[in-house]
Every structure is written in C-alpha cells, then in structure tokens.
Amino acid sequence: MKKFLAVMMFALMIATQARAAEFEMVEYSAQVKLQWLAAAGIPEAQKFLKLIDRPVFFNADNLQDFERLELTNSLYQELNMQAAMEFVRENNYKNVMDLACSLSPRAMILGDEGRKVAVGELQTVCLIGDWCLEEFGSKKAVKNVWYDAYWLQDKAGMMKSADSLKGEVCIIEQGVMIYLADDVRAQMYENLRDVLKKHGGCLITSDFTQKKYFTDTAAALFGEQNAPTLYNETKAMYEKVFGDKIADDLQDEQEAMEFLKTHGLTARKVPLFSKPPTLHISGKLTPAQIQAVNELTRKDYLWVITAL
C-alpha cells in the first residue's frame, strides 16, 4: 500500500493542471471497468482492484437499479474482454497493442501466454500499470507486457509503441470512441491506419455496434422490453461520472463504413465467438440467460479493420 501511495504521489507531482484532470478521468475509467470485470469473476481484475485499494464508484446505495446494471455491465465487459482474446488466439497473433484500456487484465493473460502486449495509455495509468505488473504479474507477463504513454492523437507516440513489436499486430480498441471528440477520433483512426500500413495486421473493435450490442446483452438477461432502459441508465451513469455527454454516434453500419473509408480503412464483421465461450460470470446466470447469451455470442458485433 505504501508503494502504491508513492506511485500515486509521483504521478501527481509530475502532473500539470491538465494532467491532474487527466488523472481523475483515467482513475474513474480504470476503476469502473475493473469493478465490472471483478464482479464478473475475472481473477486478474480482482487482483488489480485489490492492489490499488480504491473505493468502487457504484453500489446499491448510490445507483438505482444497481443489481441489474451490475450484471449487465459485468457481462458486457467480460464478453468484450474474452472476445478480443479469443480473436488473438484463433488468429495466432504474437503481437498485440491494447489501446486506452486502462489497467489491462487481458494484457496480463495474453502476456502470460507468451504474446508481446504493448498497452497504450496516458502517463498516470502507465505508472500504476507498471507497478501492478511488477507486484502480481507472472514472470512471463512481466517479460512480455509493458505500458507506453501517449495520447491517441499522438502519431509519433503510437508508431513508436508499434515499432517495439516485431511482426504483424492485432490492435484492440474497445469502448474508447464514445469519449472522444470528433477531431481526436479522426486523428486516432489515421494514426491506426499508418500503423497497419507499416506493420500489417488488424484492429478489432465493437465500438461501431456498441449501442445494439449492449442493448442485446441487456435483453439476453432481462428481456427486450427492459433493455433500452438499461442502456439509457448505463449511459446516464457514465455521463454523471464523466461530467459530459457520451457520444453514441456512428452506429449506422453504412455511415461507419464510410467514416473508415475516408481514413483509409476497411472493415468486415465477424461473430464475437466462433463457439459458445466459457465465461466466469456464468455462475451468476440462470440456464435461460446462459442460452440467450450463447445465442448473442454468434452475432456479428466485432469489426475487423484493416488498411486499404
């Protein structure tokens, strides 16, 4: 704990006023995602959350409809995490860039499998991530995972991180786009195009389907009539802590494809999983919910994006 406080103090000491705001934002983002993944039963997320020893943001006292929101968000986050890892494994990628994922349980897992994983994050997250890696990462994970500090619109920083990997890369980007201004989003995709043109490989994301994907996840658990409410409550929950509106545009397939084309990219849609996954959260679901989730995992929510 003392070492964690020292890392936190160092992070704040190097921060300008803008960096202090950044620290608050990434702290919120990291903890919320970890809270849902830990509730799903992901051991690595539970270790991260225990190690940083910070209060969770949401609970039954401060969030109406907490139980349904927790289950829905935990399932959604685990599906995202497991689908990305399964894609990497099935396509035998040895090099992974994990973008703006905060503290990354999947990086720990993929690194322990012998894959090189460069986690791209902001400076404050990198400091904490490197410390967590040192504290509980396996020998393989410590050897194969590292955090690189850069902003998503930082072309040179992103390329430098990509250049540290040898061979084709699989870039994972999940849940980032909703927080970005239009100009930052556009620059990020141009940077990603440049990385893919130089190194080969692909970017995988569900950001262009996230509204339907999340709503369908909620429907699998609590029925179609309750799903829109759970989506809107989740969006409001994030906006309250984020302190700003969250963008859920570019959800029309044709519009999204045109957006990618203007930035020199193309996409194909693939199922989340090639076969029903084994999920940690399954122990919290009824047989009917598990069946509905298995049907959900066959839908084409994952986009595989490559350079033109």
The predicted-structure confidence for 223-253, as pLDDT tens digits, reads as follows 999 999 999 999 888 887 766 677 777 778 8
Task: Read off the CATH number of the domain in which 81 is found.
Answer: 3.40.50.150
What are the distances in angstroms from CA 15 to CA 21, 24, 124, 125, 198?
9, 11, 9, 12, 33
Whole-prediction pTM value? 0.90
Statement: residue 305 has pLDDT above 90: yes
Q: For the chain, what percent of residues have pLDDT higher than 90?
A: 66
Question: Which residues are paired to 105 by β-bridges?
Answer: none
Statement: residue 97 has pLDDT above 80: yes
Tokens 């569900």 locate to 206
Query: How far apart are alpha carbons 294 and 69 in whole angstroms?
Result: 20
Query: How far apart are alpha carbons 39 and 67 in whole angstroms?
Result: 11
pLDDT value for 13? 46
DSSP state of 264: T
Query: How far apart are alpha carbons 162 and 184 in whole angstroms?
Result: 19
* Counted domains in the chain: 1
Query: How far apart are alpha carbons 67 and 224 in whole angstroms?
Result: 17
Secondary structure (3-state) at 120: strand
Tokens 């006292």 locate to 61
Mean pLDDT over the full length of the chain: 88
Span of 70-74, 207-211, 214-218 with lowest mean pLDDT: 207-211
pLDDT value for 27? 58
DSSP state of 113: T
Statement: residue 18 has pLDDT above 50: no
The predicted-structure confidence for 265-285, as pLDDT tens digits, reads as follows 999 999 999 999 999 999 999
Range of the structural domain that residue 267 is part of = 2-307
Query: How far apart are alpha carbons 43 and 240 in whole angstroms?
Result: 28
Instruction: Compute the average pLDDT of residues 285-301.
Output: 98
pLDDT value for 98? 96
pLDDT value for 25? 52
Statement: residue 10 has pLDDT above 50: no
